[in-house]
Chains A and B, each alone.
Chain A
Amino acid sequence: MRQRDVELAIVGGGAAGLAAAIAARRAGVSDVLILERGQDLGGILPQCIHTGFGLHYFGENLTGPEYVSRFIKQANALRVEHKLETMVLKIAPNRTIRAINRVDGPMCLRPKAIVLAMGCRERPWGTLGIPGARPAGIFTAGTAQWLMDIGGHMLGKRIVILGSGDVGLIMARRFAMEGANVEAVIEVMPYPGGLSRNVVQCVDDFNIPLLLSHTITRIHGSDRLEGVRIAQVDTRRKPMPETERSLKCDTLVVSVGLIPENELSRDAGLLVDEQTGGPVVDENMATSLRGVFACGNVVHINDLVDHVTWSGEIAGKSAARYAFGSFPPPRRRIRLRPGRNVRYVVPQIISGVKPVTCYLRVKRPMRRVVIHVGDTYTFFRRIVRPPEIEVFTLPGDEQIKDGPMVVSITMRDNRDADA
């Protein structure tokens, strides 16, 4: 088997991996190798032909291919090496990587440092337990997007979308623009799952019905999908039989959540946060395994690629320092623990010695709130909603105490603040 020493191996060549590679090269790492399982660099972005990328990072409104091509160009200019259609099969706790592709065959890489940037996968519809047979015509949103915008195929004429996350909303618009009838976007929660701008631009502007507090109760058809039964749900998200009705469609697009892809991380023995589904990281994006860093959607599901890029840059810089032997373990490890109405906070561990940008996902919408970080910091927000991540920066402060800090959200005044 081919063996090779390398300074830095990056698993995944999407937005996160590219940012990490560029940052590490700029920090002086000569030998950076990206291992990408897809046919091209760029991860999911080449198929995201809509705009909305780069508003924060570049101050410009770019499409996915435009956004990511800037990073691919930089990586190439910096002579970052990459291997395409290369599958990493295993990462051992001693940081040995086993991978395979058709050019090199099986290989064993021994990097000084690793950046994990595998991204995420879509939750398959089979996990929902919707009864019925399994006809053709049911797709996850990302698969539908690939088939349409990379493959050049059209999947059906009458479309129902389940899930109003960003990907679902964007696909509703995409199908409408291709001449299909989008019968409805169905969302089990009483509020949309995606960014407000996407609700307006993808659904409202195209007169597509957005059915909140609804779900699909039955799949019809055996060869090709023929329709779905839908029903309104009660406050416990149980379907109400008296509201059931049929909707004819030949295509169902399911967008019911993204799952960070951490099989390699778990096998390597990394500590995984069950709330994020990703490795526990500190402010340097260091995981629980020395020399292994993580960034982007493998750590937690981000709303915006701009945040993914930033986390990749941190991971790349940290990995570079580790590869140079100048990355001492942090002096202090202060745990940020989720409290009231907080699903998770990333990073989970801070040192307190330098400013850290934190990402917080709430459990349910609230208006006029205060985010408390321990007893030390407070941040005010007009509204918090699960689909939109909260970003706040903790200042570096040697004075903060060593123990864990609970991050919680309370109402700003005494009125009922649940939105």
Chain B
Amino acid sequence: MKSDVLIVGGGLMGTIIARELSRYRLRITLVEKTADIAFGGATKANTGIIHAGYDDQPGTLKARFCVQGNRLWPALARDLGVPFQRTGSLVVAFNEEEAHTLRSLQARGETNGVPSLEIIEHRPKLRSMEPHLSNTAVAALHAPTAAITSPYEVAVALAENARQNGVRILLNTEVKKIILKEGSVRGVHTHNGLLEADVLINAAGVSADVISALAGVDTFSITPVKGEYFVFDKRLRAVVQHVLFPVPTPMSKGIVVTHTTSGNLLIGPNAHSVDDKTDLATTTPGLDEVFEGALKLVPQLSTKRSLIITHFAGLRAESSVGDFTVESYDEPHGFINVAGIKSPGLTAAPSIAEQVIHLVQEQGLELTPKATFDPNHRPIPRPVDDIAHTRLTRLLADDSRYGHMVCRCEHVSEGEIVEAIRRGATTLDGIKFRTRAGMGRCQGGFCTPHLLHILARELDIPVEDVTKRGGASKIAPYQAKSLLRG
């Protein structure tokens, strides 16, 4: 089947573009090389902050899309049924020089159109806002419009909503070659065959330069910048109220102390360029750096190491041009780059998607709104959140498996897991990022065996073939006694 639009990359950018384009009468295909949505790149390893918009230089795409995106987020989150918490942020200064930087951040924010920025120098007030903040802090820039969300939940919700509105999503499908004819895009070769399309949107994250080069556009390169994180037990949820930043450096916004929308304390990321676009390994110096960075903001974390539940690393797409690349070209016609989307990419995403729609229109596609478009995504029911509600009784009457809790730390029921599989999860990580099963304090110790069995049962495959995240990541590859039989 020929598509009008083909989107490369199933991260946040690819899925939000797919979903926004699904408002129109278009045949849309999204291809993703890994086994699931939001599996590889910056979407999964992301701090989850919706920035206020004071960081970026006025006049840049980053500044423009960030402030606009921040305004679009509440409605988007409501439509998608994803978590969105307006926590506000504090950039914390520890000396006069840093306090001075706060004033220029404030001025820059005001130029960018960020509302209600305020510098707090009254220490008792700072203390009452953040009781565990280091007492060596001298001032902080308060941005009440900053918020947090859950990036992978957003991407999954976008993909599901896009699919619900007619978008075709092909997983395990890697683009090998772009077909160009007479200066126009005609389609792509994947290792699963040829896919024809009039417009090709490159949202390939850290690999966006590789895809762009396949189309003959080599105006930028992407360096993967690794960021490492620690996640703490939910018992530490109350340690911070806002997103806490140090004063930023040119390279990054620094190591943040925040909580996630599910209530885990999260610290990170650091920022180090790496060569390998698949290198998701944490490092000893990196993890030390993250912990020390967080201690500067919240010294009492030094006694909380035992409440760490896990650590991970992700790669951001650092572009050689220093700004987002959201553009189309005279040649090849029909090719759109959405590249270098690092921070504040999550915030900017809804606004970037709007811009991409303009670009698609400029390629000559007619955008006729679709009467059947449904903007509402229905999240998987969470019985635990509805425990005192009549909704739960109805849910259980419909499917009693919602009463059987499989993940004991996060209270995830069998009903939720089966529903996640019905919606497209085929791996252990796919279930984890859709339901939180295995994401809690025991990190899957208790539920992993049950998840394996449920996956095998629902997908009708042998347990031996169930993977962690596709490919060669099999979990229990042999049957008992098989090694003894030789």
Contacts and interface: CB of A to CB of B under 8 A. Distances in A.
Does chain A bind chain B?
yes
Interface of A: 1, 37, 85, 87, 89, 98, 100-106, 121-122, 124-127, 129, 131-137, 139-140, 142-143, 146-148, 150-157, 178-180, 217, 219, 222-224, 263, 266
B396 A105 contact: yes
Question: Which 8 A-B residue pairings sit nearest by Cβ, starting from the closest?
Answer: A126-B310, A179-B483, A124-B443, A154-B478, A87-B405, A153-B476, A102-B403, A136-B468
Interface string B443-478: 111101100110000000001100111011111111
A266 B403 contact: no
B480 interface: yes
A126 B311 contact: yes
Given A101-B404, A154-B476, A179-B484, 16 more contacts: A85-B405, A87-B405, A102-B414, A106-B393, A127-B309, A129-B308, A132-B281, A133-B280, A135-B468, A136-B474, A151-B449, A154-B477, A154-B482, A157-B478, A178-B484, A223-B472
Contact of A105 (B306, B403, B475): B403
A233 to B, nearest CB: 13
Given A102-B401, A105-B403, A153-B480, A129 B411 contact: no
B201 to A, nearest CB: 28
Nearest to B475: A136
B260 to A, nearest CB: 15
A222 B278 contact: yes
B219 to A, nearest CB: 31
B251 interface: no
A405 to B, nearest CB: 27
Interface stretch (B89-97, B114-122, B381-389): B381-389
A87 B477 contact: no
B401 A136 contact: no
Contact of B476 (A124, A132, A134, A155): A155
B143 interface: no
Interface string B397-437: 00011111100100100100000000000000000000000
Contact of B400 (A103, A146, A266): A103
A234 to B, nearest CB: 15
A150 B446 CA distance: 13
A11 B396 CA distance: 23
Nearest to A152: B480
Contact of A121 (B384, B393, B441, B469): B441
Interface in B223-245: 230-231, 235
Q: Which of A87, A98, A103, A136 has the most CB of B within 10 A?
A: A136
Nearest to B400: A102
A134 B312 contact: yes
Contacts of A121: 441-442, 445-446
Contact of B387 (A101, A106, A154, A156): A106
Interface in B267-322: 278-284, 286-287, 306, 308-313
Contact of B309 (A124, A143, A263): A124
Contacts, number: 162
Contacts of B400: 102-103, 105
B249 interface: no
A154 B479 CA distance: 5
Contact of A37 (B235, B306, B405, B443): B405
Specify the main secondary structure of chain B where it touches its partner. Answer: mixed
Contact of B445 (A87, A102, A124, A133): A124
Interface of B: 230-231, 235, 278-284, 286-287, 306, 308-313, 383-384, 387-388, 392-393, 396, 400-405, 408, 411, 414, 441-446, 448-449, 452-453, 463-464, 467-469, 471-484
A103 B403 CA distance: 8
Contacts of A147: 448-449, 452, 476
A89 B411 contact: yes
Contacts of B402: 102
Contacts of A157: 478, 483
A131 B281 contact: yes
A155 B477 CA distance: 6
A137 B469 CA distance: 12
A127 B414 CA distance: 27
A314 B418 CA distance: 42
Contact of B284 (A103, A133, A217): A217
A126 B309 contact: yes
A25 B464 CA distance: 44
Nearest to B484: A179
Contacts of A180: 483
Nearest to A154: B478
Contact of B480 (A1, A37, A139, A178): A178
